[in-house]
Chains A and B, each alone.
Chain A
Amino acid sequence: MTIACDAEWPWYVAGPLIGLFVPALLIAGNKVFGISSNLRHLCAAIAPCKVKHFRYDWKQSGLWNLVFLSGVLVGGFLAAHLGASQTISISPATRELLIHQGFHDFSGVAPGELFSWHALLTLRGFISIVVGGFLVGFGTAYAGGCTSGHAISGLANLQLPSLIAVLGFFAGGLFATYFILPHLIGAL
């Protein structure tokens, strides 16, 4: 398989590249790769209020990560304008299944029928965007990490807590996929 300019990178190129951010950050400054703690740093920066969890010097412990995060925004922008495909070529089986569930629109990286300003005003859009986002923030804070911190950094460092968290990620994801999403999409 060649890496065409406008095609997705194969998994065996993308995966190792993602994994390399762990040693890159350790070597750069003894930093542990993990995105979700930025949500905590942002809360500490914006609205610590009287919550003890947010009363710490976020600049000292989190500024590097917030800078990294702003880079992720820029990287997303660059990719969208330099090469990343605007349509995701998912497996025919998944496409069939989603059509069967009621999807019509397969353009874009996220389905416009769920993720658009227009959809935000519908129940299914609200649940996908607002409730989903809330669970991402609450869940990662409670678990102390997300896909980057637990699944990649944590598993790579052979930490049992991270294995428990990752099993939780999949349990929750499978539940939502099989028992929540079909009802949401069926309402299209």
Chain B
Amino acid sequence: MTNPSVLEDQECGAGSAAKTRKVFLPLYLLQGVAFGYVLMRSEVISWFRIQEMFHFQSFRMYGIIGSAVATAALSIALIKRTGMKSIDGEKISIPAKHLGSGIRYAAGGILFGLGWALTGACPGPLFALIGAGVSVSIITAASALAGTWLYGWLRPLLPH
């Protein structure tokens, strides 16, 4: 086991090096429930909506993603400006991503994009769909796990 605080690449959702206090886990569960509910009601989980987006036939998805980014950006700016702390009293910080050659972002991005259009679901919606009863999404999720595993295995050979 390596020390998790020195995970060699900081990925989204990996969190800070700080420990997660168990007492907060129900809070994350509740936030996850809310997120799944919002994903469903916004219909970003639908293959049809993704097709509509990639055919540029509706503003809807662009409006959703754009306003989500704007809201998040404003919130982050506000948090940074006020030096806000987390509930735990820890200073809030977002670990920077290393650009490197940039190949991993372009190549990985394109591969994920192909999968996004084919499945009509990114990872969050994939799990919301399973909960919603589109049971075959379990196979999609299992295949995604296999994809991530293969990446981990091939990682030393891939350009980053």
Contact = CB atoms under 8 A, between A and B. Distances in A.
Contacts of B41: 8-9, 14, 79, 83-84
Interface in A132-185: 132-162, 164-177, 180-181
A19 B71 contact: yes
In the complex, the 8 A-B pairs of residues with the closest C-beta atoms, listed nearest first:
A71-B32, A168-B109, A75-B36, A172-B113, A149-B12, A137-B147, A34-B12, A139-B112
A21 B13 contact: no
| Interface size class, chain B | 35 or more
Describe A's contact surface by its main secondary structure. helix
Contact of A75 (B33, B49, B99): B33
A141 B69 contact: no
Interface string B129-150: 1111111110111111111111
B34 to A, nearest CB: 6
B40 to A, nearest CB: 3
Contact of B126 (A16, A55, A85, A136): A136
Contact of B2 (A56, A141, A149): A56
A122 interface: no
Contact of B86 (A11, A27, A146): A27
A38 B35 CA distance: 15
B109 A166 contact: yes
20 contacts: A11-B61, A14-B44, A15-B71, A22-B76, A30-B18, A72-B127, A79-B40, A98-B48, A109-B43, A111-B47, A131-B118, A137-B149, A138-B112, A139-B115, A143-B104, A155-B73, A156-B73, A172-B117, A176-B54, A176-B114
